[in-house]
Amino acid sequence: MKNLGFSANRRNTSIEEAVAKAVEWKLEALEINLNRPEYFPENFDSPRKTAIRKTSEKSEIRLLLHAPDDINLLSRHKNIRLAGVERLKEMLAFGKELGAVYFTLHTGKVGLVATASGRVKIMQHPTFKPLAENFRDSALRLLDAAEGQLEMGFENTNHFEGFFEEVIAELLEQTQLKLTWDIGHSFAETPEKIKQTLRFFFTHLHRVRTVHLHDRNEKTDHLPVGSGTIPWKRFGEVLQTDEIFKIVEVKDAEAIETSLNFLRKLSFGQTFSAPPVSKK
């Protein structure tokens, strides 16, 4: 299985240590999760960035980056939204300096605080169309900043809600945007939404550059691959595509090793296909 790797997302683990682990496990990819504050760009001077790049290149470990989850690309307040875009541009520049080849982003949500009750209400995307234009504008600014030096793609957080699917489909046709497919999260929704998500990704499989691999059960996800309910043998078309990075996204080193062992032994007697479009 080519371009197999894992997500560096554990506390007190340096990028250098993560690269060394990738080498030890005979992998070809490493995703650096920028949710971890120790991986923020400002913590790295030029010599350290150069050293990481040289080590990963010498070790033939291709680096990927995962943007933080808490940067909002949808805000109704333009200056706040663009501040988030600028922060992501800093991370894109960081990726370029490291020699990274891919950058994953989440689409984001808008939360409103009801002052009377103190409760946070998530604004429903399908009912607030101006957010679609905010999202499109943010995505285009970031694609421009990537300058074709590293590829960039949006990841599904369970399901591309509301207008996201429409806007992303348009951007896939009009730009160099790619996709990150979290297969584990694909199965976290209702049966109909699961079908819709699988249909979307299989339709656009030629634009998928990274898949996140973790298993799930009725209670939780990010379990070792092969320990839950995901039908992995049915995803041979994805997992056997050499150009796609397969990133194990689990909680600790033991779970990574368990997942890698499962994936390396996995055989594919069948492959999955997109569910048919409902005739309703």
CATH assignment at residue 231: 3.20.20.150
> What does 196-208 look like in DSSP terms, one character per residue?
HHHHHHHHTGGGE
pLDDT, tens digit, for every residue of 208-249?
999 999 999 988 899 999 999 999 988 999 999 999 999 999
**Rounded Cα distance, 218 and 232, in Å:** 17
63, pLDDT greater than 60 = yes
Please state, for a pLDDT cut of 70, what percent of the chain lies above it: 89
262, pLDDT greater than 90 = yes
Number of domains present in the structure of the chain: 1
- Whether residue 279 lies inside any domain: the answer is no
pLDDT, tens digit, for every residue of 1-14?
899 999 999 888 99
pLDDT of residue 205: 96
pLDDT of residue 218: 85
82, pLDDT greater than 80 = yes
- Whether residue 276 lies inside any domain: the answer is no
pLDDT of residue 268: 76
**Rounded Cα distance, 143 and 145, in Å:** 5
pLDDT confidence tier of residue 127, bands split at 50, 70 and 90: low
- Whether residue 160 lies inside any domain: the answer is yes
Q: Rounded mean pLDDT of 130-154?
A: 93
pLDDT, greater one: 181 or 128: 181
158, pLDDT greater than 90 = no
What's 148's DSSP letter?
T
pLDDT of residue 189: 85
**Rounded Cα distance, 209 and 1, in Å:** 15
What average pLDDT does the structure give for the chain?
90
- Whether residue 116 lies inside any domain: the answer is yes
pLDDT confidence tier of residue 269, bands split at 50, 70 and 90: low
Most confident residue range from 46-50, 250-254, 267-271: 46-50
CB 249 within 8 A of CB 173: no
Helix (H) or strand (E) holding 239: helix 236-239
Structure tokens at 270: 């069948």
Domain limits at 91? 4-265
- Whether residue 195 lies inside any domain: the answer is yes
- Whether residue 260 lies inside any domain: the answer is yes
Most confident residue range from 108-112, 181-185, 189-193: 181-185
- Whether residue 193 lies inside any domain: the answer is yes
User: Which of 42-51, 120-129, 141-150, 260-269 is least confident?
Assistant: 120-129
pLDDT confidence tier of residue 280, bands split at 50, 70 and 90: very low
Other C-beta atoms lying within 10 Å of the C-beta of residue 279: 4
- Whether residue 109 lies inside any domain: the answer is yes
Distances (CA, A) of 87 to 34, 72, 119, 154: 12, 11, 28, 17
pLDDT of residue 267: 82
Other C-beta atoms lying within 10 Å of the C-beta of residue 129: 10
pLDDT of residue 71: 92
Q: Rounded mean pLDDT of 42-54?
A: 98
